[in-house]
A = this chain, B = another copy of it.
Amino acid sequence: VTQREPLSRERIIESALHLVDGQGLGRLTMRRLGDTLEVEAMAIYHHLPRGKEQLLDGLIDHVAVMPVPASRDDWRARLLSWAGTYREQLIEHSGVMPLLITRRNSAALTETSRSIREVLREAGLTEEHADSGAHTLLGYLIGHAAQEIRDRSHDDATGVDWDARFTAGLTLVLDAIERAG
């Protein structure tokens, strides 16, 4: 009998994310997750004592905590490229979106919002302008992802060019921030 790799918080969360990406949030159950890990469901509780609650928190952290990386570019270029990869991340793991919206794990969005605000502060915006700018940008990113996900899971795909639409909206928001600041 070959020895199985031991369980770990990391391996559990990755398996769970794989399950959600492939089959949707509704099919993530402790029992099914145990099956894919080749372990009894109850073994998971040894690594995640708070159970499914903690599992979902871990999923959000894994997907949505993604601060703006340091760079020598100006604020606009930094936010433009970061927003693109953040959008990709949200779309790729669209099953996690409902969790991001609900009360669970406020840390993820708070941290991201703080990171955007910092970039705008460094660019010389006032506290107030950085605050409403970060709020508007993050709002747009979440709202866009929600709309794109809804549309993509739709039957009568009207053939919307989501890349173009995303960029157009993002440009609108960045312009507005630039003009205000």
Q: Could you list which residues of chain A lie within 8 angstroms of chain B, going by C-beta atoms?
A: 25, 97-103, 106, 109-110, 113, 128, 131-133, 135-136, 138-144, 146-147, 149-151, 153-154, 165, 168-169, 172-173, 175-177, 179-180
Bound state CA distance, A110 and B147, in angstroms?
A: 9
Classify the secondary structure of A's interface with B: helix
Q: Which 6 A-B pairs have the closest CB atoms?
A: A139-B143, A143-B143, A142-B143, A103-B153, A132-B168, A98-B98
8 extra interface residue pairs, beta carbon distance < 8 Å, beyond A102-B150, A139-B146, A142-B147: A103-B150, A103-B154, A109-B146, A128-B168, A172-B173, A173-B173, A176-B176, A179-B179
What is the CB-to-nearest-CB distance from A1 to chain B, in angstroms, rounded to a whole number? 41
| Nearest-neighbor residue (CB-CB) of A162 within chain B | B135
| Nearest-neighbor residue (CB-CB) of A175 within chain B | B176
A139 partner, pick from B106, B135, B139, beta carbons under 8 A: B139
Bound state CA distance, A133 and B128, in angstroms?
A: 24
| Nearest-neighbor residue (CB-CB) of A26 within chain B | B102
> B101, A97: Cβ atoms under 8 Å?
yes
CB neighbours of A98 from chain B (8 A) = 98-99, 101-102
Bound state CA distance, A113 and B102, in angstroms?
A: 23
Please indicate which of the listed interface residues A136, A138, A147, A151 has the most CB atoms of chain B within 10 Å of its own CB.
A136
What is the CB-to-nearest-CB distance from A155 to chain B, in angstroms, rounded to a whole number? 9
Bound state CA distance, A130 and B168, in angstroms?
A: 11
CB neighbours of A146 from chain B (8 A) = 100-101, 109, 139, 142-143, 146
Name 12 interchain pairs, CB-CB below 8 A, sorted by A: A97-B101, A103-B153, A106-B151, A109-B146, A131-B165, A135-B147, A135-B165, A139-B144, A143-B146, A172-B177, A172-B180, A173-B173
